[in-house]
């Protein structure tokens, strides 16, 4: 069986998840390739799209800029990710030249995969959703809006009052394209599966839940003192770790809720023993506002440095207000570091409340404080939580287990396709 994974990049949250699946498939001897618009790693079997002009376009971010031209008519729109995916390209031709037996789509934004291209891929299709875009009128996370359960239009993220706006146009294009294809949907979290089932665009398609996996030989517990020594972190402090791809600038990741929580911790009797460690970026203004020591690790692009950062921390906090199945919680748990997060999205799939970490009531800063304090104040409890978190990852989230689940689904889809062709 020859599989082809499609992803705009092999970096970033969704790209790393797709890359891990690609490596997991290779680990169990499945022939896998991954076609990307932007290649960031040296992993074998990952094929960059196009020729030299394509590389130039990628370096200038031209595809994404042109794809977002329709958004220029909505000057008051929110500055969140919104993808029209209208720009035609020759991706289907390159896909067919690779001759796969099954195609597994992942994150397809930044002009990588036009909506209409799916109907031209006359092969079994499995689409792994990393956000909500596949069933919305262009947004990647809908927030409190439920218009994707209808036909979108009057989009709050566009600050539009018109039913016949850009989001309705994108929704209608998807409705025409998705209607005629045999598409299987995979979501990493139960939450995203329920969202997809409630959508008008995907509710008639088969939807399966297969959690993301990771290499548990890379993400594993290591001696905390050693990890702190390598990263030049203090040995005698309690360390709270926060990290996200865009650090403190992505509101969806909830740093604006972590700030007041940290301020409350600082005012506790033992608050002067706590430092914050951040990867993914933090501004000097943020650091000054927090009022205590911040260790900024910057962008950690290799997995071993990330694993050391998790192992060095006493607790990892993920105050996201919307999220699917965060890689960060998956990685921290595998390293034996208990996590704290709000009970939203797929976070409840990863954290068992009071067993592997702490699930907070959504967006309650006081409960976020309680969760971090509950872990930090008791060393034995912290160790027990970390051990249980690691065991949960071993039992449910290994890359091999994920690859086996996908392989079974791929084989089933290929067999169904062959039967369908015989009948027709």
Same domain, 60 and 171: yes
Same domain, 334 and 385: yes
Residue 237 structural domain: 224-396
Same domain, 51 and 102: yes
In a domain, 200, yes or no: yes
Same domain, 206 and 232: no
In a domain, 196, yes or no: yes
- 238: its two tokens: 């309690």
DSSP 243-311: E-TTTTS-GGG-HHHHHHHHHHHHTSTTGGGEEEEEES---HHHHHHH-S-EEEEE---SHHHHHHHHH
Q: CATH number, domain at 167?
A: 3.40.50.2000
Same domain, 140 and 189: yes
- Give me the number of domains the chain comprises: 2
Q: Is-contact 101 122, C-beta < 8 A? A: no
> What is the chain's percent helix, strand, coil content, to nearest 5?
45, 15, 40
Same domain, 389 and 405: no
In a domain, 231, yes or no: yes
Supply the pLDDT for residue 268. 84
Same domain, 322 and 290: yes
Residue with tokens 């599989």: 3
Query: Taking the mean position of all CA atoms in its chain, how far away is CA 380?
Result: 32
Same domain, 387 and 415: no
Same domain, 170 and 105: yes
In a domain, 39, yes or no: yes
In a domain, 361, yes or no: yes
Supply the pLDDT for residue 63. 80
Supply the pLDDT for residue 288. 56
One digit per residue, the tens of pLDDT, for the chain of length 424 reads 999 999 999 998 899 999 999 999 999 999 999 999 999 899 999 998 866 556 655 655 778 888 999 999 999 999 899 999 998 888 899 999 999 999 999 999 998 999 999 989 989 999 999 999 999 999 999 999 999 999 999 999 999 999 999 999 999 999 999 988 989 999 999 999 999 999 999 999 999 999 999 999 999 999 999 999 999 999 999 999 999 776 666 788 898 999 999 999 988 888 889 999 999 866 544 555 666 788 989 888 789 999 999 999 999 999 999 999 999 999 999 999 999 999 999 999 999 999 999 999 999 999 999 999 999 999 999 999 999 999 999 999 999 999 999 999 999 999 977 766 666 5
Same domain, 157 and 270: no
Same domain, 41 and 68: yes
Q: What is the CA radius of gyration of the chain?
A: 22
Q: Is-contact 218 307, C-beta < 8 A? A: yes
Same domain, 141 and 266: no
In a domain, 263, yes or no: yes
CA angle 203, 208, 211 (to 5 degrees): 135
In a domain, 219, yes or no: no
In a domain, 283, yes or no: yes
């Amino acid at each position: 069986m020859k599989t082809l994974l499609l992803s705009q990049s092999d970096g970033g949250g969704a790209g790393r998840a797709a890359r891990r699946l690609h490596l997991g498939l290779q680990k169990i001897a499945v022939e896998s390739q991954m076609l990307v618009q932007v290649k960031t790693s040296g992993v074998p079997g990952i094929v960059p799209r196009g020729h030299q002009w394509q590389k130039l376009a990628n370096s200038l971010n031209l595809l994404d800029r042109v794809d977002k031209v329709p958004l220029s008519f909505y000057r008051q729109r929110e500055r969140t990710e919104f993808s029209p995916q209208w720009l035609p390209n020759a991706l289907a031709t390159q896909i067919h030249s690779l001759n796969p037996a099954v195609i597994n789509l992942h994150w397809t934004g930044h002009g990588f995969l036009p909506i209409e291209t799916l109907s031209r891929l006359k092969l079994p299709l499995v689409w792994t959703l990393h956000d909500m875009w596949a069933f919305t009128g262009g947004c990647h996370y809908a927030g409190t809006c439920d218009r994707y359960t209808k036909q979108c239009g009057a989009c709050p993220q566009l600050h539009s009052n018109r039913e016949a706006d850009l989001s309705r146009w994108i929704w209608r294009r998807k409705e025409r394209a998705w209607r005629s294809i045999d598409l299987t949907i995979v979501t990493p979290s139960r939450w995203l599966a329920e969202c997809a089932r409630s959508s008008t665009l995907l509710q008639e398609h088969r939807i399966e839940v297969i959690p993301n996996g990771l290499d548990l030989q890379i993400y594993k517990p290591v001696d905390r003192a050693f990890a702190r020594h390598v990263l030049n972190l203090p040995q005698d402090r309690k360390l709270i770790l926060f990290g996200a791809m865009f650090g403190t600038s992505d509101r969806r990741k909830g740093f604006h809720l972590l700030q007041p929580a940290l301020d409350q911790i600082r005012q506790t009797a033992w608050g002067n023993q706590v430092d914050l460690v951040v990867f993914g970026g933090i501004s000097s203004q943020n650091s000054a506002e927090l009022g205590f020591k911040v260790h900024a690790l910057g962008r950690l692009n290799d997995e071993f440095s990330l694993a050391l950062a998790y192992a060095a921390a006493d607790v990892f906090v993920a105050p996201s207000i919307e999220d699917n199945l965060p890689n960060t919680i998956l990685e921290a748990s595998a390293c034996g570091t208990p996590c704290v997060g709000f009970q939203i999205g797929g976070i409840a799939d990863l954290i068992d409340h009071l067993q592997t970490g702490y699930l907070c009531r959504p967006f309650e800063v006081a409960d976020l404080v309680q969760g971090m304090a509950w872990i930090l104040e008791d060393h034995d409890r912290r160790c027990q939580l970390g051990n249980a978190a690691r065991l949960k990852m071993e039992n449910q989230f290994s890359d091999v287990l994920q690859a086996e689940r996908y392989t079974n689904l791929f084989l089933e889809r290929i067999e169904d396709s062959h039967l369908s062709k015989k009948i027709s």
